Amino acid sequence: MKVVIDEPIPDKKQCVDSLRNVLDALYVLNGKWRLALILSLVQSSKRFNEIQQELTGISSKVLAKELKDLELNDFVVRQVYSTIPVSIIYEATAYSRTLKNVLGELSAWGGQHRERIKQSMRKQS
Amino acid sequence: MKVVIDEPIPDKKQCVDSLRNVLDALYVLNGKWRLALILSLVQSSKRFNEIQQELTGISSKVLAKELKDLELNDFVVRQVYSTIPVSIIYEATAYSRTLKNVLGELSAWGGQHRERIKQSMRKQS
DNA sequence: GTGAGTAGTTACCCGAAGGTAAGCGCTTAC
DNA sequence: GTAAGCGCTTACCTTCGGGTAACTACTCAC
- The nucleotides of chain C lying under 7 Å from a protein CB are 5-11, 17-23, 27-28
- Whole-number pLDDT of residue B2: 43
Residue of A nearest to B117 (CA): A73
Between A39 and B1, residue with greater pLDDT: A39
Q: What is the pLDDT of residues B64-79, one digit of tens each?
A: 999 999 999 999 999 9
**3-state SS class at B48:** helix
Q: What is the pLDDT of residues A58-100, one digit of tens each?
A: 999 999 999 999 999 999 999 999 887 889 999 999 999 999 9
- Cβ–Cβ below 8 Å for A106 and B21: yes
Q: What is the pLDDT of residues A78-88, one digit of tens each?
A: 999 988 788 99
- Cβ–Cβ below 8 Å for B32 and A26: yes
Q: What is the pLDDT of residues A13-54, one digit of tens each?
A: 888 999 999 999 999 999 999 999 999 999 999 999 999 999
In 3D, which of A100, A35, A9, A45 has the Cα closest to residue B25?
A35
A43/A48 Cα distance (integer angstroms)? 15
Q: What is the pLDDT of residues B84-112, one digit of tens each?
A: 778 899 999 999 999 999 999 999 999 99
Out of A18, A104, A108, the one facing B107 most closely (by C-beta) is: A18
Q: What contacts 24+ positions apart, CB below 8 Å, involve A74-82? A: A75/A38, A76/A38, A76/A41, A79/A45
B110/B117 Cα distance (integer angstroms)? 10
- Whole-number pLDDT of residue B84: 72
- Whole-number pLDDT of residue A104: 96
**How many whole angstroms from its chain centre is CA A114?**
18
From residue A34, alpha-carbon distances to A115, B22, B53 in Å are 24, 10, 29
In terms of DSSP bridges, do strands A46-47 and A87-92 run parallel, antiparallel, or are they unpaired? antiparallel
B19/A110 Cα distance (integer angstroms)? 10
- What SS3 string covers A19-42? HHHHHHHHHHHCCCCHHHHHHHHH
- Whole-number pLDDT of residue B10: 56
